[in-house]
């Protein structure tokens, strides 16, 4: 009994930690050439509720978005934001932080 209570507490703590850490979205964007366009995407994303930070990997055409706990950014939403910034979202992946 004690053991199962302990396991429950640990798993709750683990999931709460996971939940609190948010999510990282890795967006592969076509035409990401320089900070001018990267900042244009960042400007769109940073004003989106729940977005904590936006970083870039120009070499690989990647936009790395970190979202706050409990926030989900859908592919269609991100596609639209990238499109509004004048670029095309090629693919995306996400991972818990």
Partner 1 sequence: MKIQSLFIIATTLLLTSCAWFPSVKEPPYQLVKTWGGKGEATGQFNEPTGVAVSKSEVFVSDSRNGRIQVFDFDGNFQRVSDGGQLGRPMNLTVANDELYVADYFNDVIQIYTLQGQFLHAIGKPGAGPGELNAPGGVAVAKNGDLFVADFYNQRVQQLDANGAFIRQWGTPGETGVWAGEFNYPTDVALSNDGALYVTDGYNDRVQSFSPNGDFSHKWGGPLAMNIFGSFNGWFATVTGITIGPQGNVFVADFYNDRVQKFRPDGEFLNTFGLPTQGPTHTAIAVAVADDGTVFVADYANHHIQKWRPGE
Q: What is the 3-state secondary structure (H, E, C) of 63-79?
A: EEEEECCCCCCCHHHHH
Site for partner 1 in 57-86 (CB under 8 A): 58-59, 86
Q: Rounded distance, CA 87 to CA 8, Å?
A: 46
Nearest distance, CB of residue 73 and partner 1, angstroms: 20
Using DSSP's 3-state secondary structure scheme, residue 65 falls into strand
Cα-flanking dihedrals φ and ψ of residue 14, to 5°?
-65, -45
Residues 24-63 touching partner 1, rule: CB under 8 A, are 33-37, 39-40, 43, 58-59
Q: Which residue, 15 or 88, has its beta carbon nearer to partner 1? A: 88
Q: How far is the CB of 60 from partner 1 (least distance, A)?
A: 12
Which positions touch partner 1 (CB under 8 A)? 33-37, 39-40, 43, 58-59, 86
């Amino acid at each position: 009994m004690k053991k199962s209570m302990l396991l429950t507490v640990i798993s709750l703590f683990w999931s709460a930690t996971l939940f609190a850490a948010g999510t990282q979205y890795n967006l592969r964007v076509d035409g990401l050439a320089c900070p001018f366009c990267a900042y244009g995407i960042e400007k769109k994303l940073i004003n989106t509720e729940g977005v904590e930070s936006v970083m870039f990997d120009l070499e690989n055409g990647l936009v790395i978005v970190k979202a706050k706990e409990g926030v989900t950014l859908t592919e269609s939403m991100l596609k639209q934001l990238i499109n509004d910034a004048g670029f095309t979202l090629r693919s995306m992946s996400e991972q818990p932080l």
